[in-house]
């Protein structure tokens, strides 16, 4: 299915049982909720999906299951976060064989590659597949920035089409647009600056809290797209305490606790991660519960926008 790199793309969490095995039923429930809410694509096996703990076979199985669930309604994107170029190429070919719609591609993991090595890594993967690729640019967490000069080399590959922009520097969006126009689509990768990013020209939002709150996330995107900024801001301001859960080293545990609160997830994680306990757990649960209690203040905007999505 064709990817246009526009809209809301949830970075889906991987659902586990307490023993660490994958909970397919809860996973399906969440994916179906995302589709019903009007998201524009699904991203699997990212950092929020605990990619570092997934075996290659498990990641491929999640892609296969998701393709079955969405039934060509929306594109399914697989993340590649492998340690070596050969492993990344193998993953890309496997995703293409399964029928994935596209790839999200991180720089080499563990080894901190320089600019030349990073570009060569991306080129090797891009030349191994026909799938469209979104480069994940997150120097804050991964220590490697994919600069505009590096993209200048990468655009020789037609299938390198987008960037998940997570530098946290919103001026980078304007730099991308000024330099590449529509050639490289820019998607915001940071929940707390997503609305601003879309106002500045980002074509979409690779989102985290969408895993627990898909209707609110899609409503913000749709309202910004329609230039209804005041309406979007009302939802966004309500959402902000929750969105801040996305910018923490324990974002997986935080967001999974939110999924439990909205009935579309479990809090189980794979070690070395552990479920939250004590004061930290109480603090996060208080943020989630307080936001749920205030949710009625934005329900009409979300509902009306959901009706609009259903009719479009």
Question: CA 299, CA 257: separation in Å to the nearest integer?
Answer: 21
Which range of residues forms the domain containing residue 27? Answer: 7-311
**Contact by Cβ (8 Å): 274, 210:** no
Q: Per the domain annotation, does 282 fall within a domain?
A: yes
What pLDDT sits at residue 309?
63
Q: Per the domain annotation, does 46 fall within a domain?
A: yes
Residue among 212, 248, 231, 268 nearest 39 (CA): 212
Question: CA 301, CA 252: separation in Å to the nearest integer?
Answer: 28
φ and ψ of 202, to 5 deg? -60, 135
CATH number for the domain harbouring residue 84: 3.20.20.70
Q: Per the domain annotation, does 1 fall within a domain?
A: no
Interval 151-189: pLDDT, tens: 999 999 999 999 999 999 999 999 999 999 999 999 999
Question: CA 192, CA 237: separation in Å to the nearest integer?
Answer: 10
What pLDDT sits at residue 312?
42
Q: Per the domain annotation, does 53 fall within a domain?
A: yes
**Contact by Cβ (8 Å): 164, 3:** no
Q: Per the domain annotation, does 81 fall within a domain?
A: yes
What pLDDT sits at residue 303?
84
The C-alpha R_g of the chain, in whole angstroms, comes to 18
φ and ψ of 122, to 5 deg? -60, -40
Percent of the chain with pLDDT over 70: 98
Interval 295-311: pLDDT, tens: 999 999 998 887 656 54
**Contact by Cβ (8 Å): 67, 30:** no
Q: How many domains is the chain partitioned into structurally? A: 1
**Contact by Cβ (8 Å): 121, 87:** no
User: What pairing do the DSSP bridges indicate for beta strands 160-165 and 42-44?
Assistant: unpaired
Q: Per the domain annotation, does 306 fall within a domain?
A: yes
Percent of the chain with pLDDT over 90: 93
What pLDDT sits at residue 36?
96
What pLDDT sits at residue 304?
85
What pLDDT sits at residue 111?
83
Q: What average pLDDT does this structure show over 218-224?
A: 97
Q: What average pLDDT does this structure show over 275-282?
A: 98
Residue among 56, 2, 64, 12 nearest 37 (CA): 12
Q: Per the domain annotation, does 2 fall within a domain?
A: no
Residue among 124, 120, 88 nearest 106 (CA): 88
Interval 18-72: pLDDT, tens: 999 999 999 999 999 999 999 999 999 999 999 999 999 999 999 999 999 999 9
Q: Is the pLDDT of residue 242 over 80?
A: yes
What pLDDT sits at residue 311?
45
Q: Which residue has the tokens 């004590």?
A: 278
Interval 185-203: pLDDT, tens: 999 999 999 999 999 999 9
Q: What average pLDDT does this structure show over 117-126?
A: 97
Contacts of residue 134, Cβ cutoff 8 Å, sequence gap at least 6: 5, 77, 102, 103, 104, 105, 161, 162, 163, 164, 185, 187
φ and ψ of 260, to 5 deg? -60, -45
φ and ψ of 27, to 5 deg? -60, -50
Question: CA 17, CA 182: separation in Å to the nearest integer?
Answer: 43
Q: Per the domain annotation, does 265 fall within a domain?
A: yes
Interval 1-31: pLDDT, tens: 899 999 999 999 999 999 999 999 999 999 9
Q: What average pLDDT does this structure show over 98-115?
A: 93
What pLDDT sits at residue 308?
59
Question: CA 98, CA 100: separation in Å to the nearest integer?
Answer: 6
The encoded tokens of residue 293 equal 């209690």
φ and ψ of 278, to 5 deg? 60, -145
Question: CA 59, CA 122: separation in Å to the nearest integer?
Answer: 20
């Amino acid at each position: 299915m064709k990817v246009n790199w526009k809209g809301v793309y949830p970075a889906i969490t991987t659902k586990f049982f307490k023993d660490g095995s994958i909970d397919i039923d809860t996973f399906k429930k969440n994916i179906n909720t995302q589709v019903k809410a009007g998201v524009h694509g699904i991203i699997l096996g990212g950092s929020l999906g605990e990619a570092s703990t997934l075996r290659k076979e498990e990641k491929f199985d999640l892609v296969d299951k998701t393709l079955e669930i969405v039934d060509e309604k929306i594109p399914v994107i697989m993340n590649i976060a492998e340690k070596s170029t050969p492993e990344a190429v193998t993953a890309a070919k496997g995703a293409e064989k399964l029928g994935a719609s596209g790839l999200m591609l991180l720089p080499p993991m563990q080894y901190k590659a320089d600019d030349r090595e990073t570009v060569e890594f991306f080129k090797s993967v891009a030349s191994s597949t026909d799938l469209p690729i979104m480069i994940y640019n997150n120097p804050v967490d991964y220590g490697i920035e994919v600069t505009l000069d590096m993209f200048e080399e990468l655009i020789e590959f037609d299938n390198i089409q987008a960037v998940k922009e997570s530098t946290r520097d919103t001026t980078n969006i304007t730099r991308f647009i000024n330099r590449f126009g529509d050639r490289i689509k820019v998607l915001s990768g940071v929940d707390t600056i997503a609305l601003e990013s879309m106002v500045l020209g980002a074509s979409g939002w690779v989102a985290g809290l969408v895993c627990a709150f898909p209707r609110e996330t899609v409503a913000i995107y749709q309202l910004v797209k329609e230039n209804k900024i005041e309406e979007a801001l009302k939802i966004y301001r309500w959402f902000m305490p929750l969105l801040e859960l996305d910018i923490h080293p324990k974002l997986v545990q935080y967001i999974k606790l939110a999924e439990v609160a909205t009935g579309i997830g479990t809090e189980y994680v794979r070690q070395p991660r552990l479920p939250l306990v004590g004061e930290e757990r109480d603090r996060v649960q208080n943020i989630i519960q307080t936001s749920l209690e205030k949710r009625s203040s934005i329900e009409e905007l979300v509902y009306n926008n959901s009706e609009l999505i259903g009719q479009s």
